[in-house]
Amino acid sequence: MSAAATVVLCINAVIGVLNLFLLLALARRLTGGEHAGHGHGGEAAVTVPENRLADGSPVPEFRVTTREDGTLTAADLTGATAVGFFSTTCRPCREQAPGFARVAASLPGGRAGAVAVITGSGPVAEDLVKLLSPVARVVVESDAENDPTLLPDISLTSEAFGIVRWPSYIEVGADGRVANRDSSTELFADSAPQTV
């Protein structure tokens, strides 16, 4: 093979690799990156995967430690329970958290009727905890990472509820089954957008 042919093959390989990186970057941007959600503000809505736990599914066993209420298991979800999943790196999560807090405050049974799961750490996580703790039992997943005595038997988000996008909202019925799941940004559309 001539030197010119080798150079042409190398250039084609480099261009192919660059195209792959550009395609992956575009896909990540279109799906919202690590914590995907629907389009927000003036952005077009993006189709993202559905959370894996379907309506009617029984809530799998899990065991986690909440910030103020001790251990929480699937058996503790008695009566109808609203479960909200928030990520510190997700702008719609921070904007919808006040709406979730208002809805949770109006649920029968007080704080026992709502659970908020926060993925991430730092000041945003602490702001979300401050907002949601008065109206819901709050689980901060990074707490388990930082304190080995709090390690969950099963991660509340990814394993038990099959969450693949944030924010997500699930209603657990009195029978311990998922009665309604909704990840749309319209769920708390009446809440004024705020950054926590």
Task: For residue range 35-82, list pLDDT tens digits in order.
Answer: 444 333 444 455 666 777 888 899 888 888 888 998 888 888 888 899
First-to-last CA distance in the chain?
Answer: 62
What pLDDT, on a 0 to 100 scale, did the predictor assign at position 65? 85
Range of the domain at 165: 63-182
46 in a domain, yes or no? no
| 38 inside domain | no
Q: How many domains does the chain have?
A: 1
- What is the maximal distance between C-alpha atoms in the chain? 79
DSSP state of 30: H
With respect to residue 147, please indicate whether it lies within any of the assigned structural domains: yes
Is 176 among the domain residues? Answer: yes
Note whether residue 51 is domain-resident.
no
Instruction: Inform me whether the pLDDT recorded for 101 exceeds 90.
Output: yes
E-only strand ranges, the chain: 63-65, 71-73, 81-87, 114-119, 137-140, 168-172, 178-182
Claim: this prediction has a pTM higher than 0.85: no
- Asked if residue 120 belongs to a domain, the reply is yes
Q: Is residue 189 part of a domain?
A: no
Q: What is the CATH number of the domain that holds 115?
A: 3.40.30.10
Residue 9 belongs to some domain of the structure = no
* pLDDT at residue number 193: 41
Is residue 191's pLDDT more than 60?
no
